[in-house]
Amino acid sequence: MLKLLTKNHPKTCCRCGLRKPGMSKMRVIFAQATELLYFCSKINSIQIPDRYMAEENSLLDKLDGLKSRFEEISTLITDPSVIGDQGRYVKLSKEYKDLERLMNARTEYAALLRNLSESKSLLLSEDDPEMKEMAREEIATCEARKPQLEEEIKLLLIPQDPEDGKNAILEIRGGTGGDEAALFAGDLLRMYTKYAERKGWKMEISSASEGAVGGFKEVICYVSGQDVYGTLKYESGVHRVQRVPATETQGRVHTSAATVAVLPEADQFEVQINEGEIKWDTFRSSGAGGQNVNKVESGVRLRYNWKNPNTGEVEEILIECTETRDQPKNKERALSRLRTFIYDKEHQKYVDDIANRRKTLVSTGDRSAKIRTYNYPQGRVTDHRIGYTMYNLPAFMDGDIQDCIDHLIVAENAERMKEAEL
């Protein structure tokens, strides 16, 4: 409010509110009273009258309800006993970071509502044309920012998927279409590799089975970086391609498919594995890689009997890893894949519940759902979940897929806001 009285105004002094020639006595009194109210509010010595307070707002009430939790976590993350508990500390730090963004938004929103209320009061009470114009400008600025800030807050208030910040296991498999499907799986791998480079992520191939004429029958990758799973999860599902295969002699367009599955990496403290029950085998790797490949048993194979907590059935899990020439490293990566596999199995019910509750078109890994079509003759990419279409297929296959993912995120957030009734 004070800035409306002092900003570029020749008749008032900043802060002190001293009278200058030509300045009315009433305006001096008003400026001094406003300044006094401002400083008193800072020390909470008096209660500011309602007309100087932000208007009653349900969104602000929601934010105020989270303030005590934010203060509680601020204290907990400095507690030595919490710092010593890695699992708890990581979770609290994540919650603190999320709430900090909300508290910053709360501060801005409360100030905006207060300025808007005070500017409207000034517009009604002030006779000076210049002051009225300044009040109108302030009102216009606040009303333009208010809906934007409200949308930002609503998105922040929506409970986030706890898996979004994790690294991911990316699985690509050739589907219907034989050799052409394997070639397309290889094209998808290249697309995601290029995309990972754009995002600054690290992508490593854990295992791969090559196709007869190129590409991959199956390829599994480990992708690490910021918010990997929260971004790549939208890629899970069936990807369909329409093009003339390299093996086609008649020039006919064929339709083939490849499946993509994106799984969150399991943290060590989330999955309980009795490593003493793991049966290990070693073997010599095959393929290119130097003399050690065929002379040293660097490849590892683990067998683990896992009991399904939902059904009680015991299932033997078999995992092989030949990723590196170092046997200990292969063991470490095989264990990581085992944790991820078990985590995915044990949390399938959670994934299904989330999918049913949100009722979005975003795939959760159901490989029977066709999510996207890549039409090479028309140079077109169509995402069937949201009706997204672009006509720059070469750029898309070169890793320029962020715009499509952004549209999927917007669609999901809109549905989540609707369900949360925000």
What pLDDT score does 288 carry?
Answer: 52
Separation of alpha carbons 281 and 96, rounded Å: 44
Could you give the angle at the alpha carbon of 152 between the alpha carbons of 414 and 160, nearest 5°? 60
**C-alpha separations of 12 from 25, 87, 120, 292 in Å:** 11, 57, 21, 84
Secondary structure (3-state) at 231: helix
pLDDT band for 286, please (50, 70, 90 cuts). Answer: low
Q: Phi/psi class of residue 237: alpha, beta or left (left: φ > 0; alpha: ψ in -120 to 50)? A: left
- Look at the pTM and tell me if it is higher than 0.85: no
| Residue 7 token pair | 């900003």
What mean pLDDT do residues 328-343 have?
A: 85
pLDDT top residue among 237 and 289: 237
What mean pLDDT do residues 407-416 have?
A: 83
pLDDT top residue among 303 and 90: 303
What pLDDT score does 287 carry?
Answer: 52
Q: Phi/psi class of residue 227: alpha, beta or left (left: φ > 0; alpha: ψ in -120 to 50)? A: left
Domains of the chain plus CATH, in order, are 2-157 (no CATH), 168-265+349-420 (3.30.70.1660), 268-346 (3.30.160.20)
What pLDDT score does 363 carry?
Answer: 43
What mean pLDDT do residues 112-134 have?
A: 87
Contact 105, 156 (CB under 8 A): yes
Angle between helices 402-420 and 348-358 (to 10 degrees): 80
Nearest Cα to 367, choosing from 190, 227, 166, 171? 171
Q: Of 119-123, 266-270, 339-343, which range is least confident? A: 266-270
Q: Of 15-29, 124-138, 155-169, 339-353, which range is least confident? A: 15-29
Strand partners, 356: none
- Has residue 98 got a pLDDT over 90? no
What pLDDT score does 18 carry?
Answer: 43
Contact 103, 153 (CB under 8 A): no
- Has residue 13 got a pLDDT over 60? no
- Has residue 28 got a pLDDT over 60? no
What pLDDT score does 384 carry?
Answer: 92
pLDDT band for 235, please (50, 70, 90 cuts). Answer: very high
pLDDT top residue among 402 and 176: 402
What is the average pLDDT value for the chain, to the nearest integer?
77
What mean pLDDT do residues 368-397 have?
A: 91
What pLDDT score does 43 carry?
Answer: 38
- 3-state SS, 317-384, equals EEEEECCCCCHHHHHHHHHHHHHHHHHHHHCHHHHHHHHHHHCCCCCCCCCCCEEEEEECCCCEEEEC
Separation of alpha carbons 169 and 220, rounded Å: 7
